[in-house]
Structure 1
Amino acid sequence: MSGPGRGRRLPLMSARDYGRAPREDREPGRPSRALVVALLLACASLMVLDGSGGALDPARRVVGEAVGPAQAAADGMIRPVVGLSERFETQDHLRGELAALEAENADLRAAVRTAPYDRARLAELEGLTSAATDLGQALVPARVIGVGPSQSFRSTVTIDAGSQSGIRPDLTVLNNDGLVGRVLRVTATTATVLLIVDPDSTVGGRVAASMELGFLKGRGVLGDAGRLDLELVDETVVPRKHDTVVTWGSTDGASPYVAGVPVGEVVSVYSSLRESSQRAVIDPYVDFAALDVVGVVVPSGTRSDRAVVEADGSLR
């Protein structure tokens, strides 16, 4: 035969090749068109069944009954682990609040315990203000920080104010009750005070009612049994019981004792046959066994590293 195709032999086809769909040329890994069409039909069928009013409910119920207990058990195991960090954070917060409450409670207990002491100190400071006003003298407040003998004196105390506070020897020391003593010596930050109850202390005194003069000497005893002996200049004068005795004052009116500071009151009077004189026993106003806040009389305008109570009661 001649013509196009003549001479070319067609491939033989077996019987099994008839009816086979032509082979599709597709990329490796890409699903076939038939598979895609099948999946789309399946999705459409499920949507129709779900919208038809519960056709899938039995299947869902079966799955739920089978899977539900397992989910509950798993949730019960996972929930404590998930909430563990939150529990730790909550416990840390509670511990912080508990610590704050305990600290606040401790502060309140301390305040309750120290309240009487704070009130007593406040009363003494207010008393110093009144004393400064009554005497017309400036005072440097100080606290007693030591009690004990000093050199040849038996009855002394140490206060926490010295030369930096304007303190120098031979200045009057008092508190809100009356005369305490005089400054013996000072350092930059402390001072030693000789108490009027010391046996070697002598204070010029005046009986307030009669204005009679005398000299007060200590017996060296502190506390309730501490007493002073008053010997009057006029031996014929007999002081009366309960008379008030105040300081006589010095020649310069300032050191070692200013005038008019209350010392104590007469509790008894006795006669000295050997010296032919009248003597009075004085109960001091100051409790020397419980000294705390005192004031040192300083000249007005004294430079000090602490507040000074002025004669008018103001603080400088």
Structure 2
Amino acid sequence: MRDTRESRLLLVLLVAVAFALITVDIRGGQESPVDGARQAAAAVFGPVENGVAAAVDPIGNAIGAVRDSGERHNRIAALEKENAELKAELGSDDRNRNRLRELDAMLKTAGAGQYGIKGAQVVAIGSAQGFSWTVTLDVGARDGIQRDMTVLNGAGLVGRVTTVGPSTSTVLLANDPDFTVGTRMEKSDELGFATGQGDRPLLVQLLNGKAKVKPGDRLVTFGSAGSRPFVPGVPVGEIVRVDPMGGGLTRNVYVRPYVGFTKLDIVGVVVQAPRSDPRDTVLPQKPKPAPTVTVTVTAKPPADGQADEQAQGEAAEQPIRGDAAKPAQEQDPGRTREQNQGQAQNQGQAQDPNGQEDATP
């Protein structure tokens, strides 16, 4: 149809009639005057709509499936990623139990020394500052961490904080060659300075060159002024070797640290020092030596009958040698010593080679 004035008037008229029918239908409700016309139209066009829908629905479903396949793939990928993250976060049961033991041991150490600590986890090893022995923690200035704070775990001294960022911090480990801490011997109170030696035992220089120390003796931190960078009483390690005294003013000993620096995970940063020096109370209890079992065996005396049989057997085993087997008191006392010896010699020669006595008188 061409766009003319008549066609436009017809379009306007049709639209007006449609709106009028819609208004009458809405106001009429269930008794609408156009209800009969609607039913007649449904009877005529219903089968046509069903036929068209049956022919068109498979095509529409295929188009929808192609359109939704991309969304489903993205959803599956997101679920797989979320599952992997949950597995990584939860970890294995063995790791969870191990971390629980580390956390429990650290809390016991902090409780024994009355240290106020901030729990942290080691998230990186090493540092961009060089080849020093350092670790990075997941706590920083936002968590109240400051430079020169003591770091420990359930075993003992880990190190001290050297660098602090907003959410992370760097710890210099106690086995680093640039690390030095004041120490105090258990019970004897001998003072010294411990220096790291990498993967070797700590070198401790005792201030008293005549100090009496031995392998197995234990050390703790002496503490610093204002408890920075070290709080007192933190276990350091035990002596494994002692250099002989050379008459010098100091004496060197070698200490195996309690902390395993290659397997750090859960640590605590001491944010509040104890009110008083805990001294040796934080040291673990020494294992008690196993009791020595002594077994005493008592010989049972033989019965009377067995004793008689044993005595008779021993008597039967003794050979009879004639006069030579007689005791000295049975020899003739009237003879001289030389005559008695000669008689014994003659009796010995009278025996045959088989050890039997000569029957000749």
- TM-score above 0.5: yes
Report 1 or 2 for greater relative contact order, CA contacts < 8 Å, sequence distance ≥ 6.
1
Please tell me the TM-score bracket, short chain as reference. Answer: 0.5 to 0.7
In the superposition, the TM-score normalised over structure 2's length comes to: 0.49
Q: Tell me the distance in 1 between the aligned counterparts of 2:144 and 2:236.
A: 25
Q: Tell me the distance in 2 between the aligned counterparts of 1:270 and 1:289.
A: 27
Report how far residue 185 of structure 1 moved.
1.1
Name stretches of at least 5 consecutive residues in structure 2 with no aligned partner.
Answer: 1-79, 274-361
Match of 1:132 among 68, 91, 110: 110
Report Cα offsets for 1:223-263 as digits up to 9, x if no partner.
Answer: xxx310111111111312101110000122x2101000001
Asked whether 1:258 is paired with 2:236, we answer no
Report how far residue 131 of structure 1 moved.
1.5
The 5 Å alignment of 1:139-150 reads 139-150=117-128
Report Cα offsets for 1:18-56 as digits up to 9, x if no partner.
Answer: xxxxxxxxxxxxxxxxxxxxxxxxxxxxxxxxxxxxxxx
Give the letter for the 2:104 counterpart.
E
Q: Tell me the distance in 2 between the aligned counterparts of 1:156 and 1:235.
A: 32
Structure 1 or 2: more helix by fraction? 2
- Tell me what 2:95 maps to: 117
1:209–1:244 contact (8 Å) kept in structure 2: no
- Tell me what 2:186 maps to: 208
- Tell me what 2:267 maps to: 294
Name stretches of at least 5 consecutive residues in structure 1 with no aligned partner.
Answer: 1-102, 301-316
Match of 2:242 among 269, 273, 291: 269
Number of residue-to-residue matches in the alignment: 193
Match of 2:136 among 158, 166, 169: 158
The 5 Å alignment of 1:1-316 reads 114-151=92-129, 154-221=132-199, 226-252=200-226, 254-271=227-244, 273=246, 277-299=250-272
Report how far residue 162 of structure 1 moved.
0.3
1:217–1:229 contact (8 Å) kept in structure 2: yes
1:229–1:281 contact (8 Å) kept in structure 2: yes
The CA RMSD measured in Å over matched residues stands at: 2.7
Question: Residue 282 of structure 1 aligns to a residue in which SS?
Answer: strand
Question: Residue 289 of structure 1 aligns to a residue in which SS?
Answer: coil
Change (3 A) 1:272 1:184: farther
1:271–1:277 contact (8 Å) kept in structure 2: no
- Tell me what 2:278 maps to: none
Change (3 A) 1:116 1:235: same
Aligned-pair identity (%): 42
Report how far residue 195 of structure 1 moved.
0.5
Structure 1 ranges of 4+ moved more than 3 A: 109-113, 271-277
Question: Residue 171 of structure 2 aligns to a residue in which SS?
Answer: strand
Report how far residue 277 of structure 1 moved.
3.3
2:207–2:250 contact (8 Å) kept in structure 1: no
Report how far residue 140 of structure 1 moved.
0.3
Q: Tell me the distance in 1 between the aligned counterparts of 2:235 and 2:101.
A: 18
Report how far residue 152 of structure 1 moved.
5.2
Change (3 A) 1:173 1:111: closer
Q: Tell me the distance in 1 between the aligned counterparts of 2:175 and 2:89.
A: 35
Report how far residue 274 of structure 1 moved.
9.3
Report how far residue 278 of structure 1 moved.
1.9
Change (3 A) 1:272 1:218: farther
Q: Which moved more, 1:259-268 or 1:113-122?
A: 113-122
Report how far residue 116 of structure 1 moved.
1.1
